Structure formats: structure tokens, C-alpha cells
Structure 1
Amino acid sequence: MTTSPARPKADTTLWQRLPWVILTLALCLLAGALFNSGQGKQPALEWYAQSGLQQLEWDNYLSWLRFNGQGEQARRLEQQLSQSDRHAYAAALFAHDFVADSDARARDFWTASQREQWKTLRSQVPAQLASSPLYRWGLTDQAPRPAHFFTAPLTGAPLWLTLLALALLVPLAAPLEQRIGHGKTLLVWIAGCLLAGGGYLLLAQPGQLPLHGAAPALLGLFGAAIASQKAALSLTLPGDNGKQLTLPAVTLWALPAALLGALSLQADPLLPTLCAGILALAGGALLVQILLPRESFGASSTEVTPVLTPTQQQELTRGWEALARLDGEAAANAFGNILESEPQQFDALTGQFTALQLAQEELAWQHLANTLFSHPADAPGQATQVSQCWKQFRQRSHTPIETQAGWQLVKTLTRAAEFQQAEALVEQLDDHESRKSAVRTLRQALEKEGLSHRAKALTR
């Protein structure tokens, strides 16, 4: 028997599927771009040039650099000033060693009145920095306080760049947050901020603009989303027909590449900012490999997947090429040829699942879905692919799946760490001999994740 489709609580509601962490970050980043642009002249630098502090110490600072073996840096700062770039003054403004040395040897080059004037002006520096958007919220290469790593994305960068970064993240946001959870998504964001700040400091020179803008840190989320997307990404196109657009996982790397290209158009300085973005991108991709749930949890099958014959391999390739052309009929024929001899071949099953949707063969698609959901899916990456297919099935079909397939699907969703969906399915399915094993697997997984209250709430 199968359950009645009239049980609404079995379906995960829209608000549960939304990527709440990324949505909250997006609102904060947009607010930062709108209300804390950091554009234009920096008040602290203008004050340094006009207050008399620059006149007192700038030549001394350049001499101090040369005396300490930093003549090349002094030359770069002079070149910046010759190009009317007053950000060079930031090098002296944040030069704590120079300030300490000047305080100790002030009598060597300043009169008593000049010493008092210098000390008075230096005491005003913190208040002046607090009035400068980038130096207040962003990261300076001379003062890499960790707190600045997290506020730098909220400062500066053109609004169009922030909007572009968030728009490119849209197709990846929900799959990422559903796959690794809200807390781990936030952890990836924090890591992206730290890595972007560290990458910036690798190449930044004294006197350059501090790190600012959301794009470098957001690239950490791009790396995590794409590296965790083992299967092709299916997107529902706008319209009533609900057509699916399938994007192979490797093509998704074009999204961060486009963002890096856009970032290079306005980055100042260019190389440190690009280094920040690239390091965050790579770090996010590596971090998600640690955060991904273990696909082997609860798996008991040790069977080796049969090796495809050359002919079957050609059919599989032909099927995926047809899907790339959105030719559902040709893809269904190719995958069907494999399934005639290997009805449990996983790649052919997942390909046929998408192909029959494109071909709009509803009855065949329903039957194929039950076969796919009955698959053990215990090889690495397979559980995540099945969970994505299940989401598509729930969105498109109002026909319940077969009970036996449903209880196997509970195990598969558990291995994919889709606990909410697995719990909802437990409440939806009728009793079956495999029910006890599936519920036990889910309960153990919830207890392992520290969700004992949800494990106890499962019906027995």
C-alpha cells in the first residue's frame, strides 16, 4: 500500500528550504554597499595632510624607511604621491614602529613646541580613523586586526559588483545550504572572510587601500557550493511548464571566474584583491570537503558496481550529450538501452530521471523514480544525487512513491544528511518490513548530530 497524498505535513515547506544564512548575509552586504560605500576621499588622510602632521613627520618617515633598509618602499610611496594618491599617507599613519622611534628621539629633530604639536596631533589619530569608512570598517595592511576581516565585506565596492556577486550565487545558495546545513554555511562564510583578508595581506603594500567589498569573501561560498556539487545541477526555468535546465558541475566554475573578471575591472589595488578572492575560493572548496557528511554512514552494501562495456559507455556518453542539448527523447533512448541490461546502473538511472522529465513522459518517469529511490545509493556521492532527484520529484509530482522505495529513500536521505526530508518521509509512509531498519538508521544519525530530541520524536 501507498500513503494518501493528502498529508501536507510530509512536504518540507518553502521557508524550510530557503537558504536563510545566505539570505541574511545578502541583506547585510547590500545594506553595507548602500549605506557604507567608503567611496571618495578618506577624511583621515585629508586630515593628515592638512593638520600639520604630514609636514612634521613625512620627510622623517621616508628617511626612517631608508635608514632601516626599506628604500624601495620609500620610493614607491613617493611615486604614489606624485600621482596624487594620498593613500600613501596611510603608511605613516599606521607605522607604529616609526611613531615609537620618533617619540624616543624627538629631541634630535624637533623643537620643544614641535614635539608638543606632534604629540597632540598623534593623540587625535584614533578619532580621525573612526571617521574614515574604509579605515574604520575595512582591513589595513598595517593593522590586520581579525575583527576587520569580518567587517571588510560590508564596506565599499560599487553596488553593481555586490549585486552581480549575489546574482551569480543565487543558483548555488539553496543547494549548498541544504547540503551542509545553516551552521556550516556560516562557518564557510567566516572562513572566506579570514582567507580573503589573509590573501590580501600577502601582496598588499603599505599605503594602499585596505581590503573592502563583498566579492572576495563571497568567493568562499562559491568554492564550497561548486566543490560539493558532485552531480549535475538542475534548475527549474520560469514558466508554467516547469522545464528543467541541467548544468554539469564542472561548468559551474564559470560563475566565480566571471566574478573574478568583474572584480578585476574595479579592484584597487588589483593583485592583492584578486589574491584575496582566489584564496577564499580555493579555501571554501577545500573546507567543504571536511564539512560534507560522511556518505558511508549506515551503508552496508559491499557490492562492486559492474563495469560498463564499451558499448554501454558509449550509450552513457550519448545520453549525457543529449541532455546537454536538452534533447530528452534521444537521452531517454540512450539511457534506456543501458537499463535494459543493467536495470540498477546508477548513472543511467539518474540520467534517465532527467531525460524522461524533458521528454514529458510522466508514467515512465514515475516508474523510473521508484526504481531510482529503491537503489541503495551507497557509493560516494550517490546519496546526494538521489536527494536532489527527490526534491525535483516532490516539486513536480503529486503521486506518492511506493512504500518499499520510500523506506529505502529514508536511508538514502539520511546518508545525504537531509534529515528534515527523511523525518518528513517517515511520517508520510505506510508500514513495511523495512520500516524498522530505516527508522533506526535515521535515529542513529540524528543522535550522532546531537539532535536527540528529534530522534526521540520519531514514531516507533
Structure 2
Amino acid sequence: MLLAPSDKPYDYRKPPRLALGLAGLLLLLAFTLFPGDFERQRSLDGFYVTNLMSIEWPLYSPFLMQNNRSTEIAGLEAQRTQGNQTAVAQAMGNDRPFVESIRAGGKDYLEPDILSRWTAARDHYDQERNRLSAQVIGLDPQRFRPVTFISYAFTDTDLNNVLLTVVLLLLVGMPLERVLGSGALLASWTAGSAAGGLAYLLLHRSGLMPLTGSSHAIVGLLGAAIWEFRRNRSLRVMESAVTAGGWLFMVISLAALTLIWHWHSREIAWIVSLSVSLAAGATACAVFRRWLEKSRAEQELEIVVPEMPTSEPYRQDLNQVMLKVSQMQFVAAEKNIRALLERYPGDPRLTEQLYHLLKLTPNNLEFEEVAFAMLTLPNQPGSNQASLRVYRDYIKRSQTFVALDTNTSLQLVLRFTRINALKDAEEAFKRALDSDRNAPLLAKAANALATAMTANNMEQRAGYYAGLAKSGD
């Protein structure tokens, strides 16, 4: 992955599995199943030209005229004149209504021996054609199958398109999954695939060939990435200090759309359907992020856990840790703390001691993880003071502030106002306000600050935060 969210450095121990899985699946299908499809399609085209073209071609023009599709005749005749028998064979070979019309009334205008020969050849052609992946899981305009609005994104016989999708999954999908999780990635992929497929079908109502390829799905991810990383400096090039924003994905999107449009004969319908996918992916991302933030906020605010253990063995273990720390035996102390955390998961006292040991190496990603655990302690007596102690130390040491995302900052505002640490609460609120003015907890945090300021006779500050709370409702 070349890009990472600026507030969440990439953790090689926890790779974005869905993005990697989708990329691996597309490559696996491209190099194992679809080469056989390519050979089968080429064989079918040759079979059609040899055994069916001479019988069906004279019948096709009258059929098109009878079914108000006369505009297609000129194009097919031009292809046949230019010697492009493959395009003609695929168009006529996949026209199911045309085939059904011959099966139903062929005996009225075909000689018995010709009809018999046609039936045998057509049965063989249809049987082999229906084994193609494009026919099995592609989005066929002639058959409505809801599942294919998703499955067609995995049928791609164009290696260039597969490689472009894989590159974009690594470049765009991985940072998106890192920020919002696999659910957002899946939602954007699915929304782009389904919405783009629907738009394409509406623009190709008389289409004969199934829609295949992951173009619409990956463009949906691009739309999600543009929306999620639209703020300046929201991305960082890995292993460097270079930052970028959503404009980078807009440039990537324009380049990808241009390539896909060029590969598909520059059809306007492709640009329209891909634009629909772009918008659908962005919408899915925005909705998912809103739901995720509200869900997390509600869950984390409602959590109440029992008091910390007070048994004699626990006190003895804790005293041993503190003794090693006082004797500057930091390696042994850290080892003991990690062992105790397996017995007492999430214990605030042990976690705080581990934080103070890890703060000696603030560039370590585990330092950010432990800091986050301390800043988001469950609701229990004493947790607010512990979070405040760590917060004051953390803002002096951290270089990336990964643990202080918008939601965490606003939760800290609520914690700090309860213990009257108003200066720290205001600082955390400003950090959240600069990051995202539409955060779900913003109004509640502003109300808490307004109430605390009023209680401390700071009427001017109280009015300011009351106004923010009202504008955020």
C-alpha cells in the first residue's frame, strides 16, 4: 500500500484483509478460469460462422424490422462487410428472442433438413455458450437475475481491466478499509457495482451481450475514497512526510474513467454508468460512516463495567510491578504487566503503567494503541482522572495523534467536563471541531461545555458553546 490515512499509520500486523482478498480473488479468476472462457468463446465464434451464419443471417434483418430494432441492421451489415465476422456472430448468437422465434416458427419457412441441421448446431452452440462465466454470473440484459448485479463484477476477461482494478484496490481500497473497516469497503464496492449495472442496463435495454468486469465496482470505491479523504492532508505517502487530500483520488478517478472509456469503444453510456457508480460509492461511504460513528458513540457512552479487582493476589501482583518500575527494571516490569493483562484484560492501572513504559518510544504504533485504550476507558469510578493524566502526557509526546480521532476527542470532552478540567476539555473540543464539524457527538459535547461554563460563571464562554450546540443539532 502506497497511501495511508494521516491519522492512522499502516499496521503490518493487521492488514486490510478484504481489499487484499478481493484483489487476490480477481487475480485468481483472471489467471485460472477465464483463459478457458476465452478459448471457448473463440471456438464458439468459429463454430457459429461455419454452421449457423449462412442460415441465420438472411432471417435476422426481417426479425429486427418486425421488432422495431431496424437501427441495428446498418451496424451489423457494416461489420460483415469489413470482415468482422466475430462481432456479427456474437450479436446474433446471443440474441435469445431471435433464436426462440426460429424455434417457434422455423418450420414454416425453413426446409426440414435445414431446420434439423440448424437445431442440432444451435443446441450445441447454446449449450457451450451457457457454460461461459459471462453467461453464468454476468449481468445479462435479456434475463433479470438480481444476484448478477453483484456477481458480474467478478467476471472479467480483460486482463488490463483486472490489473487496473487490483492496483486501485491496493491504492484506494486499503486506506479506505483502514479508516472505516471492511463494512464500508464492501458497501461501496456493492453500491458501485449494483448502481452502475442498473444504469448500464437502462441505457442498453436492447443489449445482447452480458455486462462483465469490475469497472463499476472499483469506481464505486473511488467515489467513497474521494468523499472520505476530501479534507486537505488527510492522506500520507507511506514512510514519508508527504501528505495529500481527496483531490488525489479525483485525479486517479479521472485517469481510470478515461482508460475504461477508451477500452470500451468510447461509449457515452459507459461514462454515464460509471458516473452513477462514483456517486453511489460516495453515498454508501457517507451513510456507512454516519451510522458507524453514531453506533460507536452510543455503545462507548453506555458501557459500564465493574470496579477493578481488589483481591489480595491482585494487589501483590500490582505491587511487584510497581517495585520493578521503581528499581528501573523496565524490561522485567513490562513483561510482568503483559502477563497480568492476560489475567486482568483492560485493567486501567496495569494499562496506565504499560503506557508509561511505552512512552519512551512514542514512534511505536503500540504506544498509540495503549494510549487509545486509556483515553477510551469504560465508564467506572476513577477512569476520568486516569484518562486526563494520560491525555496531558500524550499530547506532549505523540507525533501523529492517532489515538485522538474526532470521536475520541469528543468523548474526552464529556469526561473532562464531569471533573471540571475545562481547559483540557476545550482543547479536546477544538481538536474535534477542526477535524470534523459534522461529528455526531459534537452538539452533545458543546452542550456539556456550555453547562460546565455556566456552573463556573463563565457566561461568555457558555454562550459560545451553546451556540455551537444549537447549530450542530
Shared fold by TM > 0.5? yes
- How far, CA to CA, are the matches of 1:282 and 1:199 in structure 2? 12
User: 2:236·2:244 contact (CA, 8 Å) conserved in 1?
Assistant: no
Q: Give the match for residue 128 of structure 2.
A: 128
3-state SS of 1:293 partner: helix
- How far, CA to CA, are the matches of 1:46 and 1:68 in structure 2? 28
Deviation at 1:100, TM superposition (A): 3.2
Q: Give the match for residue 103 of structure 1.
A: 103
Matched, 1:68 2:67: yes
Alignment of 1:372-391 (within 5 A): none
Distance 1:48 1:260, change over 3 A: same
Q: Give the match for residue 285 of structure 2.
A: 288
Deviation at 1:254, TM superposition (A): 0.8
So what's the TM-score if we normalise by structure 1?
A: 0.57
Q: Give the match for residue 245 of structure 2.
A: 248
Q: Give the match for residue 388 of structure 2.
A: 404
Matched, 1:228 2:228: yes
Distance 1:168 1:105, change over 3 A: closer
Matched, 1:212 2:212: yes
Q: Give the match for residue 3 of structure 1.
A: none
Q: Give the match for residue 79 of structure 2.
A: 80
Alignment of 1:137-156 (within 5 A): 138-143=138-143, 145-156=145-156
Alignment of 1:276-315 (within 5 A): 276-294=273-291, 295=293
Moved more, 72-81 or 155-164: 155-164
Q: Which of 27, 30, 39 is equivalent to 2:27?
A: 30
- How far, CA to CA, are the matches of 2:50 and 2:149 in structure 1? 30
Distance 1:245 1:168, change over 3 A: farther
- How far, CA to CA, are the matches of 1:434 and 1:88 in structure 2? 78
Alignment of 1:286-365 (within 5 A): 286-294=283-291, 295=293
Matched, 1:262 2:259: yes
The superposition leaves residues 129-187 of structure 1 with CA deviations (integer Å, 9 ceiling, x where unpaired) of: 14545445543443453444444333445434433343344343233224433234223
3-state SS of 2:242 partner: strand
User: 1:77·1:207 contact (CA, 8 Å) conserved in 2?
Assistant: no
Matched, 1:159 2:159: yes
- How far, CA to CA, are the matches of 2:238 and 2:104 in structure 1? 69
User: 1:44·1:132 contact (CA, 8 Å) conserved in 2?
Assistant: no
User: 1:293·1:416 contact (CA, 8 Å) conserved in 2?
Assistant: no
Deviation at 1:288, TM superposition (A): 1.8
* RMSD, matched Cα: 4.3
Amino acid in the other structure paired with 1:404: L
Distance 1:109 1:176, change over 3 A: same
- How far, CA to CA, are the matches of 1:42 and 1:417 in structure 2? 60
- How far, CA to CA, are the matches of 2:86 and 2:65 in structure 1? 20
The superposition leaves residues 237-275 of structure 1 with CA deviations (integer Å, 9 ceiling, x where unpaired) of: 455xxx322213234211111111222332247444434
Deviation at 1:220, TM superposition (A): 0.8
Distance 1:203 1:182, change over 3 A: same
Distance 1:73 1:160, change over 3 A: closer
Q: Give the match for residue 319 of structure 2.
A: none
Q: Give the match for residue 185 of structure 2.
A: 185
3-state SS of 1:292 partner: helix
Deviation at 1:26, TM superposition (A): 0.6
The superposition leaves residues 62-97 of structure 1 with CA deviations (integer Å, 9 ceiling, x where unpaired) of: 211112332112222222322315233333333333
Amino acid in the other structure paired with 1:215: S
User: 1:153·1:215 contact (CA, 8 Å) conserved in 2?
Assistant: yes
Alignment of 1:12-51 (within 5 A): 14=11, 17-35=14-32, 36-37=34-35, 42-51=42-51
Amino acid in the other structure paired with 1:75: A
The superposition leaves residues 418-452 of structure 1 with CA deviations (integer Å, 9 ceiling, x where unpaired) of: 9xxx9xx9xxxxxx9599xx9xxxxxx9xxxxxxx
User: 1:138·1:155 contact (CA, 8 Å) conserved in 2?
Assistant: yes
- How far, CA to CA, are the matches of 2:129 and 2:169 in structure 1? 33
Unaligned runs of 5+ in 2: 1-7, 299-361, 376-385, 393-400, 413-417, 426-440, 442-473
Amino acid in the other structure paired with 1:180: L
Unaligned runs of 5+ in 1: 1-10, 300-391, 426-431, 439-444, 446-460
3-state SS of 1:212 partner: coil
User: 1:407·1:434 contact (CA, 8 Å) conserved in 2?
Assistant: no
The structure number with the bigger radius of gyration is: 2
Select the structure with the greater relative contact order (CA < 8 A; seq sep ≥ 6).
1
Distance 1:43 1:207, change over 3 A: farther
